[in-house]
Structure 1
Amino acid sequence: MFSSLIQPSIVSLFSSTNTDPLALFSAHTDSQLPSDSFIHLLNDSKPEPAPDCPASLISPAPVSTNVEEKGYSLCQTVLHIQSPTIRTTYIRCPPGGSTEHLGLKHPWMHIQVRDMGREWSFEVGVVDKGERQGVIRCSTFQQNPGLTLSNPPLLHLPLSFPSSSPHKLTTWSTVVLNLASLLAHFTSPSLLEPAYERSQAGGQSGSIVSLPNGPYSHVSYVKVYATCRLRRIWFSEAGSGQRIPWEMHLYATE
């Protein structure tokens, strides 16, 4: 999608306040759960407009042990992604079914998300200079880093939001990944050995999996699962220290 274009130092892939936020994405929900599985744009502080019936919104996670304390909300439109079945409810760029790579060459990924007190996951496809592909998935339900020798191989990492605290002001966070540094974990001995053992136990000893092990090249796709509220996804040449435009910051209601 973007590989042939000149790419600035910061590229915003998703912004919930755009006229058509999902223009580059496909959206998928669980048709068997119409009241619980849906994707909907709403104002984070209201929340309005309400989704169509029979969809039923859940509330964000509390900021402290007092369940009534929801913390600061954003005075902006955000994307609400909700479902008890994570793998069937998600947005994806490029759209599902496309063989085209996203083609963004930036090594840093940033995602602004609100903790809804439910399990949540997102993943990003990465490609090295040798065109070897891998998938990095981050999940709140994952306990330890794990590697699955699938095609493409999957690096599954644990993810946790800041815990509830009297000093916590909001359940909004910005998750930052250094994709280039994470490529090395696909060939980490501590992950490879148990991955091979599981593969052999599953009768896949004869299969050959090409693991990314060269310098980072680009992102092939991005996929964000339920359950969360999403404000923005962007890629940059530097990490959290890079100066970003004012509109990429989080602004709470007064």
Structure 2
Amino acid sequence: MLLDRTTTQPSLISLFSSTSSNPTLLAHLEAAKDSNESFISLLDDGTDERETLLAWNGSSQADLQARSASLVAQRDSAGTALQHLRGQVLHLQAPDCRTTYIRFGSLDKGKCKEDGLGVHLPVVHFQLKELGQEMYLDIAVVDDKDEMTVVRCSTWQPEVELLPATDSYPRLLYLPLHLPSSNTTTPILTRWSTLSLPLHTLLSSTGLRFKAVVGVEVHATCRLRRYWFTEEGMSAEVDEAMVKRGMMREMALYAAD
């Protein structure tokens, strides 16, 4: 439910942590219904072991073998030279990135008041791993007139573009998404990175005033460790001191190991 502007919220809100006890409890998971290679699972980033399959529409032994083979092929194509994380992450994989995603809240402009997140913190952070395939993020926000804009960051978008709303879809602010890749001349240690989006600044550049985030979708193919919201100028990481002050360890945010 969309929270009232007067509702007091903490200066940091974490909506997803892959290391928590039930990280997708409040999420909607969707995998393509016509592809046995489209799935979402929790697994160890370094080894792909200890996998828990969360969303998949296959049923036969042949489907299972095809899914397993697609995971192996994806890992082989990514290579092993770069460093991994130690621990559980969310893996989203699909031949068509539009079909497979994890969603919190609502991106439906007709339902955002009832089903939206209502997070008033203006900066959203993602810990993501690029896997050499197309992927994108959608963040649905409402302005001070309660009109929705979807901020979409995709790996194939060449430049910033603002598309007007239609009867069926909200306004779309399209942004290029550049993540670390092994296919570059600049040396990197890992494909993991932290992406921070100042939503209030992005909206103000189009003449709009940020009010709240109502929905977030992360689409295949990528790996997700955490995403969270902060105030402007606040550190993108949560340190050990926050745990000592009483924050649940599974909700604390740490830099990559």
TM over 0.5, shorter chain: yes
Task: Output one character per residue of 1:144-178: Cα deviation in whole Å (capped at 9) or x when no partner.
Answer: 11122133100110011134357311100000000
**Structure 1 residues 147 and 95, CA, compared in 2 at 3 Å: closer, same or farther?**
closer
Distance 2:134 2:153 in 1: 11
**Structure 1 residues 174 and 102, CA, compared in 2 at 3 Å: closer, same or farther?**
same
Give the structure 1 partner of residue 172 of structure 2: 154
Give the structure 1 partner of residue 75 of structure 2: 59
Q: Is residue 26–residue 96 contact of structure 1 (8 Å, CA) maintained in 2?
A: no
| Residue 251 (structure 1) shift | 3.4
Aligned length in residues: 220
For the residue of structure 2 that corresponds to 1:182, the secondary structure is helix
Task: Output one character per residue of 1:201-252: Cα deviation in whole Å (capped at 9) or x when no partner.
Answer: xxxxxxxxxxxx2x21100100110010000010001346456234412333
Identity of aligned residues (%): 37
**Structure 1 residues 39 and 61, CA, compared in 2 at 3 Å: closer, same or farther?**
same
Task: Output one character per residue of 1:97-122: Cα deviation in whole Å (capped at 9) or x when no partner.
Answer: 76411100001000000010111100
Q: TM-score, normalised by structure 1?
A: 0.79
Q: Is residue 116–residue 215 contact of structure 2 (8 Å, CA) maintained in 1?
A: yes
Give 1:132-171 correspondences, 5 Å limit: 132-150=147-165, 151-164=169-182, 165=185, 167-171=187-191
Which structure exhibits the higher relative contact order, with contacts defined as CA atoms closer than 8 Å and separated by 6 or more residues?
A: 1
Match of 1:172 among 192, 196, 211: 192
Give the structure 1 partner of residue 232 of structure 2: 238
Give the structure 1 partner of residue 128 of structure 2: 113
CA-atom RMSD in angstroms: 2.3
Q: Structure 1: which 5+ residue stretches go unaligned?
A: 188-212
Distance 2:158 2:151 in 1: 15
**Structure 1 residues 96 and 30, CA, compared in 2 at 3 Å: closer, same or farther?**
farther
